[in-house]
Structure 1
Amino acid sequence: MSKAPSSRAWVVLLAALLAVALTARLGFWQLDRAAQKQAMQTRLDERAQLPELKPSELALNAAAAPVQYERHVRVRGRWLTDKTVFLDNRPMAGRVGFYVLTPLLLDDGTPLLVLRGWAPRNAAQRAELPALPTPAGLVEVWGKLGPTPSRLYQFGAAESGTIRQNVDLSDFARETGLALRPLVLQQLATPADSSDGLLRQWPAPAVDIHKHYGYAFQWFALSTLLVGLYIWFQIIQPRRKGRIPS
């Protein structure tokens, strides 16, 4: 006559079921995150194929800005060169240097922050700024819209000064007194802009879908391992020894 499972066996079974359920749920959550990011990438790709926005259609508030990310636009205005900032530790083409951002005063009188390009840094004189030929008159800039460049880790509160790690649109607007549009125009390379010495080999937006598949595989593998361990230690081994664990 077989012996009824003890309270310890029920506790082990319950713990195993909870652990398997939790790890499996985490695996499905990672798959869901991958699906969300894939949908985001699809939306961005579709926007990039849409006709260019008109300057008059540019978002005026932060809530309307995200739907214009990756859209192309051609604007005219004058550079506000005294408000230029250099974002440090930004790589391009295998080198580390600056992202150069300058507000552009549009024809309608509103300023738009432009990510103009990348410039090298003087490794020997780290406080030295690159010389940038910037037209003083009316210019035309073509590019695609997006948020501010990705943030790097920084110590302390929001930074100021010409050289900094990051820029926040709201903070920069308060700092400069400019009523900036809630978008950044990432300037794209054209033959007319090749004389300014800036590189514009922009990386594609990183959606990181594959890392979520990797995490999902790890969670599902752990869930499967827990099932296997339970079967081995609670069913197979006791039967091989001819006893039920007490």
Structure 2
Amino acid sequence: MVKSFLMRFYNRKLAAGALVTVVVFSILIKLGLWQLSRSEEKVQMEQMMTQRAQQPPIQLSHLTDEAIVNPNGLIVQLEVLPLKEHYILLDNQSFNGQVGYLALQLVRTEGHRFILFEVGFIPAPRLRDVLPVVQWLEQPFAFTGRLYRKSENPLSKELLLEEGSPSRIQNLNITQLSAHWNTPIELFVVQPIEENWRYPQPWQPIPLGSEKHLGYAVQWFGMATALFFFSLFLLFRLLKQGGIHD
């Protein structure tokens, strides 16, 4: 009787372990498939970025509605007028191991459209209360630029603007910034393409390439494979030891 009770307990424990193994195995496979789909998406994005980089610059007024929704990598020609005292510093940025800010300022185009102009990355001073000195754009400026739209962080997307000039913000929420400045700002940023530009420009069209996602998929599938064979090994070992009986 005691032996029968122990065997039932043992078999229930074995069944529970098998269930956990199946659940973990399914999660690993799903993660691998998700990374594969992300890799395919990035391949398409890389192809689009390559095509856009090879196209001649266009005028901002020629942008289609589709391009405005997904402007990343589009090359445009602009002449802009800087607007004084419309400066912001996007907090918690990093570049080449340094922590700092992304400096942006509001400019107006010839067609009276308002756009955020990326000045570049500025290292943060050692003291939090001290803001960096930035060489802002002050004169009308004709240039070739690249458009981009920063993706939102679903966990933190509020502007959280600190009053001042420049104003420090925690997230680039252009809709909220438009309301704060009472100005209809376009939902993208323009990054100047100039040799020897005054500041580094950390934004890249695709920060994580398709090969990275493919590598992650291989890792998840590898872990699932290892779990599968390890589970088989344990099962055969238990069967061999006579651990499962009717």
Equivalent residue for 1:159?
Answer: 160
Moved more, 170-179 or 209-218: 209-218
Q: Give the distance between the partners of 2:33 and 2:63, measured in 1 at CA.
A: 38
Structure 1 residue 119: deviation in Å? 3.2
Moved more, 18-27 or 199-208: 18-27
Q: Assess if the C-alpha contact under 8 Å between 2:122 and 2:134 holds in 1.
A: no
Equivalent residue for 2:226?
Answer: 225
Q: Give the distance between the partners of 2:83 and 2:101, measured in 1 at CA.
A: 18
Equivalent residue for 1:84?
Answer: 87
Structure 1 residue 76: deviation in Å? 0.9
Identity score, percent: 20
Equivalent residue for 1:238?
Answer: 239
Structure 1 residue 104: deviation in Å? 1.1
Equivalent residue for 1:46?
Answer: 51
**Pair 224,64 (structure 1): closer, same or farther in 2 beyond 3 Å:** same
Q: Give the distance between the partners of 2:175 and 2:102, measured in 1 at CA.
A: 19
Q: Assess if the C-alpha contact under 8 Å between 1:148 and 1:168 holds in 2.
A: no
Equivalent residue for 1:119?
Answer: 122
Structure 1 residue 21: deviation in Å? 4.6
Aligned length: 230
Q: Give the distance between the partners of 2:94 and 2:34, measured in 1 at CA.
A: 33
Structure 1 residue 175: deviation in Å? 0.7
Q: Give the distance between the partners of 1:129 and 1:230, measured in 2 at CA.
A: 57
The alignment yields a C-alpha RMSD, in angstroms, of 3.5
Q: Assess if the C-alpha contact under 8 Å between 2:238 and 2:244 holds in 1.
A: no
Q: Assess if the C-alpha contact under 8 Å between 1:159 and 1:166 holds in 2.
A: yes
Equivalent residue for 1:104?
Answer: 107
Structure 1 residue 171: deviation in Å? 0.8
Q: Per-residue CA shift, 1:131-166, capped at 9, x if unaligned? A: 525334x32132100014876986x95311312232
Q: Per-residue CA shift, 1:79-117, capped at 9, x if unaligned? A: 012111122343345543332211111111121111122
Q: Per-residue CA shift, 1:160-213, capped at 9, x if unaligned? A: 13122322111111111111122210122246xx5xxx3134353302545533
Equivalent residue for 2:141?
Answer: 139
Of the candidates 168, 171, 174, which is equivalent to residue 169 of structure 1? 174
Equivalent residue for 1:3?
Answer: none
Q: Give the distance between the partners of 2:101 and 2:35, measured in 1 at CA.
A: 35
Equivalent residue for 2:199?
Answer: 199
Q: Assess if the C-alpha contact under 8 Å between 1:77 and 1:140 holds in 2.
A: yes
**Pair 225,91 (structure 1): closer, same or farther in 2 beyond 3 Å:** closer
Q: Give the distance between the partners of 1:200 and 1:152, measured in 2 at CA.
A: 27
1:79 maps to amino acid: P
Structure 1 residue 20: deviation in Å? 4.0
Moved more, 75-84 or 37-46: 37-46
**5+ residue gaps, structure 1:** 1-5
Moved more, 113-122 or 138-147: 113-122
Moved more, 214-223 or 178-187: 214-223
1:147 maps to amino acid: R
Q: Give the distance between the partners of 1:108 and 1:199, measured in 2 at CA.
A: 27
Q: Assess if the C-alpha contact under 8 Å between 1:26 and 1:219 holds in 2.
A: yes
TM-score under structure 1 length normalisation: 0.75
Q: Give the distance between the partners of 1:185 and 1:78, measured in 2 at CA.
A: 13
Q: Give the distance between the partners of 1:121 and 1:13, measured in 2 at CA.
A: 51
